[in-house]
DNA sequence: GCCGTTTTCGGCCCGACTGTTTTCAGTCG
């Protein structure tokens, strides 16, 4: 039972209740509950196991907490079972179609007994929908269109998949005479890992000329709508893009509004209301008077807040930090001075060792680590001990050949199914940097996987855990393990966690990276590049770090080489290897003199809110509030 | 269903657009 499973039940319950005509605020409570559960890095299973922990989550009260416990122990809750009899899940899913909300779906279900997409398509084709109250010919046609789009499985697109075309569109619009500002807003600006569509805001210039430049771009294959202030198009890659031409005077309010998130905006509006004002995309107003609207900073300032970087605008506690002037100074791309995870043609990379090192030098890096695969990945020629010894010489040669950059001899070593490492200790000792990763058997049950990971991290040769959960967006589920326990142990043992910048990995994700920081775990941001070109994907890793609220100090590969190497050295040669029975090796660096810290659960209790160590007087309003912000 | 130094009851974010309608419900972002 994962958090996502619980969230799915709540989310479906919300829609079921909505279709059933329940109190809209009750519906909202379930929807919000789903969001909160989903965003928790700590598993609700473990939260449910401890008295009162669930109720500490803002938005989770007595009732929802009880339901979570029921779902955790039985897989469901009586209300969910009862509601399914009234509103089947397949009917709930109809609300995902563009243009169909709970009201229309209710009508479809009750009048025409439509239970799924097939029923719906049939009825629409037979022109039965147009007869229904609140429907008509146009709605019927739109339903058929929505079914068509859904059948092509038009999901969200990776941020990286939209990056180039988004900037190309912006550039073309920016070139229109008189245009003063162009911004890519929405989830793109918040740097979410995937985006549903793209929003572009423009000021200045002749609106007609702006629209023409936009809909006339080469990549546009379909113009969905075109007006003076708003046009919508579909691109060759199936991405929908909306462009809005807004007045200069309200650009800040519009940018704020169209950047979102929705939840962040709602919190801002609440603050506005408390002050007797109103906030919308045209400005912050008091009656007829405009209080602020020209820039985002103006609006935030009027609300008593610091300007919030878009990556943080997810209603995860950033507003309170902005009010108190405690927003973190987020890491920047230029802060990174190294990339510590990449492959060469010695295993499954495309370029030679020398080419990769030179490419790092050209990117201004002060050091880099070459980290090919270990032998478990046999089909790509992963390294065994003998190959590692040969590699020592290859690395020495490239160091001589390419001056101006420090080259670390690393390896990405597989974590075997039992938690042992895919390389003998003697060979591990030859390496400057050891990344351990899960590649095979990542579908083990959670308890076994947790044990496996902890055992691997307890090996004293390990410096970094690479793409920790192994997830691949849209294709592979993350490995299930107790993230909280693993992070606690990593902090104690001095193992860094990677934010892998591969656009379809982004692993750790923002939520887990945030949890890592709260636990005091150091982070490295790496590309895992298999070609020179992929070295430039580092930005996507930085975006995740920013969304996690990470600063330069939280990330190891921002440090000068000497400082970095010292932190690596400290990890080496410490602590006995763990055994099968004792995966939590005592005596690791961080636990010395820290009392009985070898049991990770002790640490966890000491640092969480609601206990004597970190008692907060009142339950905070927003979900997922970062802990331990200094 | 959640929440609270102005409340344990009575609140809970806002506007545009669309298509269906004669004044507005439903959906979306």
Domain of A303, CATH number, reads 3.30.210.10
pLDDT of residue A475: 64
- Å: A199 CA to B28 C1': 14
Q: Which nucleotide is nearest to A130 (CA to C1')?
A: B20
Contact A535, A342 (CB under 8 A): yes
pLDDT of residue A587: 34
Q: How many CB atoms lie within 10 A of CB A471?
A: 20
> Would residue A139 count as lying in a domain?
yes
Between A483-493 and A446-457, two packed helices, what is the crossing angle to 10 degrees?
A: 10
- Å: A31 CA to B26 C1': 19
Same structural domain, A210 and A270: no
Check residues A517 and A126 and name the one with the higher pLDDT. Answer: A517
Residue A91 has pLDDT above 60, yes or no: yes
> Where among A190, A212, A245 does a domain terminate?
A245
Residue A219 has pLDDT above 80, yes or no: yes
- Paired with A306 in beta bridges are none
> Would residue A36 count as lying in a domain?
yes
> Where among A135, A151, A167 does a domain terminate?
A151
Same structural domain, A340 and A459: yes
Same structural domain, A400 and A535: yes
> Would residue A310 count as lying in a domain?
yes
Residue A39 has pLDDT above 90, yes or no: no
Cβ within 8 Å of residue A10, ≥6 positions away: A30, A31, A33, A34, A37, A64, A67
Q: How many CB atoms lie within 10 A of CB A185?
A: 21
List, for residues A378-424, the tens digit of each pLDDT value: 767 789 999 999 999 999 999 999 999 999 999 999 999 999 999 99
Average pLDDT over residues A353-357: 95
Q: How many CA within 13 A on the CB side of residue A520?
A: 13
Nearest protein residue to nucleotide B14 (CA to C1' distance) is: A280
List, for residues A2-17, the tens digit of each pLDDT value: 788 898 899 999 999 9
Same structural domain, A450 and A520: yes
Tokens of A209: 């000329």
- Å: A30 CA to B27 C1': 20
Same structural domain, A486 and A566: yes
- Å: A558 CA to B14 C1': 42
Q: Which nucleotide is nearest to A64 (CA to C1')?
A: B1
> Would residue A328 count as lying in a domain?
no
Nearest protein residue to nucleotide B3 (CA to C1' distance) is: A59
Same structural domain, A413 and A559: yes
Same structural domain, A192 and A63: no
Average pLDDT over residues A351-359: 94
Of A330, A328, A332, residue with least CA distance to A317? A328
pLDDT of residue A35: 84
- Å: A180 CA to B29 C1': 25
List, for residues A236-272, the tens digit of each pLDDT value: 777 889 999 999 999 999 999 999 998 899 999 999 9
Alpha helices, DSSP H only, in A49-136? Answer: 53-56, 62-74, 78-86, 89-92, 102-112, 117-125
Nearest protein residue to nucleotide B16 (CA to C1' distance) is: A281
Please tell me the distance from the alpha carbon of residue A280 to that of residue A283, in angstroms, as a whole number.
6
Tell me which DSSP letter residue A307 carries: P
Please tell me the distance from the alpha carbon of residue A138 to that of residue A221, in angstroms, as a whole number.
23
> Where among A192, A220, A245 does a domain terminate?
A245
Check residues A579 and A432 and name the one with the higher pLDDT. Answer: A432
Per-residue pLDDT band for A571 (boundaries 50, 70, 90) equals: low
In Å, what is the CA distance from A345 to each residue of A342, A350, A362, A373, A375?
11, 5, 19, 11, 15
| Residue that is written with structure tokens 């005077």 in the block | A249
pLDDT of residue A616: 33
Cβ within 8 Å of residue A386, ≥6 positions away: none
pLDDT of residue A444: 83
Domain of A107, CATH number, reads 1.10.150.110
* pLDDT, averaged across chain A: 85
pLDDT of residue A234: 83
Contact A123, A105 (CB under 8 A): no
> Would residue A231 count as lying in a domain?
yes
- Paired with A338 in beta bridges are A367
Dihedral in degrees, nearest 10, Cα atoms A222, A224, A228, A230: -110
Please tell me the distance from the alpha carbon of residue A424 to that of residue A515, in angstroms, as a whole number.
32
Residue A608 has pLDDT above 70, yes or no: no
Q: Which nucleotide is nearest to A138 (CA to C1')?
A: B19
Tokens of A514: 């945030």
- Å: A274 CA to B7 C1': 15
Residue A52 has pLDDT above 80, yes or no: yes
Residue A164 has pLDDT above 60, yes or no: yes
Residue-range definition of the domain harbouring residue A302: 250-323
Same structural domain, A215 and A257: no
Same structural domain, A104 and A176: no
Please tell me the distance from the alpha carbon of residue A108 to that of residue A95, in angstroms, as a whole number.
11
pLDDT of residue A623: 33
Query: Which nucleotides on strand B sit less than 7 A from a protein beta carbon?
Result: 1-5, 11-21, 25-29
Per-residue pLDDT band for A569 (boundaries 50, 70, 90) equals: low
Number of domains, chain A: 4
Domain of A378, CATH number, reads 3.20.20.140
Per-residue pLDDT band for A154 (boundaries 50, 70, 90) equals: low
Q: Which nucleotide is nearest to A262 (CA to C1')?
A: B29
Cβ within 8 Å of residue A544, ≥6 positions away: A191, A193, A499, A501, A506, A508, A509, A510, A513, A525
Residue A325 has pLDDT above 70, yes or no: yes
> Would residue A629 count as lying in a domain?
no
Alpha helices, DSSP H only, in A458-554? Answer: 483-493, 510-519, 538-547
pLDDT of residue A405: 97
pLDDT of residue A577: 40
Please tell me the distance from the alpha carbon of residue A251 to that of residue A245, in angstroms, as a whole number.
9
Nearest protein residue to nucleotide B15 (CA to C1' distance) is: A280
Please tell me the distance from the alpha carbon of residue A296 to that of residue A178, in angstroms, as a whole number.
22
Same structural domain, A443 and A526: yes
Same structural domain, A540 and A408: yes
List, for residues A268-288, the tens digit of each pLDDT value: 999 998 888 999 999 999 988
Check residues A568 and A340 and name the one with the higher pLDDT. Answer: A340
- Å: A186 CA to B24 C1': 30
> Would residue A622 count as lying in a domain?
no
pLDDT of residue A531: 87
- Å: A104 CA to B20 C1': 13
Same structural domain, A516 and A558: yes
pLDDT of residue A626: 30
Check residues A75 and A364 and name the one with the higher pLDDT. Answer: A364
> Would residue A601 count as lying in a domain?
no
């Amino acid at each position: 039972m994962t958090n996502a499973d619980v969230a799915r039940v709540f989310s479906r319950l919300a829609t079921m209740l909505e279709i059933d005509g329940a109190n809209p605020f009750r519906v909202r409570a379930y929807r919000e509950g789903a969001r909160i559960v989903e965003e928790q890095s700590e598993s609700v299973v473990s939260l449910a196991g401890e008295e009162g922990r669930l109720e500490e989550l803002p938005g989770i009260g007595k009732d929802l907490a009880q339901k979570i416990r029921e779902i955790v122990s039985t897989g469901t809750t009586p209300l969910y079972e009862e509601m399914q009899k009234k509103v089947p899940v397949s009917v709930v899913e109809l609300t995902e179609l563009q243009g169909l909300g709970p009201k229309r779906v209710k009508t479809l279900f009750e009048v025409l007994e439509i239970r799924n997409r097939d029923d719906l398509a049939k009825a629409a084709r037979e022109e039965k929908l147009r007869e229904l109250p609140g429907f008509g010919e146009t709605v019927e046609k739109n339903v058929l269109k929505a079914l068509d789009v859904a059948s092509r499985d038009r999901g969200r697109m990776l941020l990286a998949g939209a990056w180039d075309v988004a900037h190309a569109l912006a550039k073309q619009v920016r070139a229109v005479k008189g245009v003063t500002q162009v911004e890519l807003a929405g989830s793109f600006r918040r740097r979410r890992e995937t985006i549903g569509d793209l929003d572009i805001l423009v000021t200045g210039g002749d609106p007609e000329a702006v629209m023409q430049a936009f809909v006339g771009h080469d990549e546009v294959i379909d113009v969905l709508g075109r007006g003076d202030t708003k046009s919508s198009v579909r691109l060759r890659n199936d991405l929908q893009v909306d462009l809005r031409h807004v007045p200069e005077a309200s650009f800040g309010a519009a940018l704020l509004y169209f950047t979102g998130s929705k939840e962040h905006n709602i919190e801002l509006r609440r603050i506005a209301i408390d002050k007797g004002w109103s906030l919308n995309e045209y400005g912050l107003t008091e009656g007829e008077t405009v209080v602020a609207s020209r820039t985002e900073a103006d609006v935030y300032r009027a609300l008593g807040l610091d300007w919030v970087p878009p990556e943080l605008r997810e209603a995860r506690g950033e507003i309170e930090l902005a009010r108190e002037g405690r927003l973190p100074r987020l890491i920047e791309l230029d802060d990174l001075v190294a990339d510590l995870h990449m492959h060469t043609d010695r295993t499954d990379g495309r370029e030679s060792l020398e080419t990769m090192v030179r490419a790092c030098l050209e990117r201004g890096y002060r050091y880099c680590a070459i980290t090919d695969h270990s032998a478990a990945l046999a089909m790509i020629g992963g390294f065994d001990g003998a190959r590692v010894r040969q590699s020592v010489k290859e690395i020495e040669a490239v160091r001589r050949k390419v001056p101006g950059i420090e080259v670390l001899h690393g390896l990405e070593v597989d974590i075997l199914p039992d938690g042992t490492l895919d390389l003998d200790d003697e060979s591990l000792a030859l390496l400057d940097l050891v990344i351990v990763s899960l590649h095979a058997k990542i579908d083990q049950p959670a308890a076994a996987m947790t044990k496996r990971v902890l055992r691997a991290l307890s090996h004293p040769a390990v410096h970094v855990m690479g793409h920790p959960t192994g997830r691949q967006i849209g294709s592979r589920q993350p490995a299930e393990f107790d993230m909280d326990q693993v992070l606690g142990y990593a902090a104690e043992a001095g193992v860094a966690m990677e934010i892998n910048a591969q656009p379809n990995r982004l692993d750790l994700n923002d939520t887990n990276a945030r949890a890592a920081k709260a636990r005091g775990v150091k982070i490295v941001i790496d590309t895992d590049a298999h070609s020179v070109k992929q070295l430039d994907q580092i930005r996507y890793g930085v975006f995740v770090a920013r969304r996690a609220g990470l600063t330069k100090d939280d990330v190891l590969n921002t440090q000068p080489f000497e400082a970095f190497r010292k932190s690596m050295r400290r990890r080496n040669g410490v602590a006995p290897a763990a055994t099968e029975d004792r995966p939590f090796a005592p005596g690791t660096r961080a636990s010395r003199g820290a009392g009985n810290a070898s049991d990770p659960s002790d640490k966890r209790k000491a640092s969480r809110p609601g206990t004597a160590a970190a008692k907060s007087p009142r339950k905070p309003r927003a979900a997922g509030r970062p802990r331990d912000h200094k």
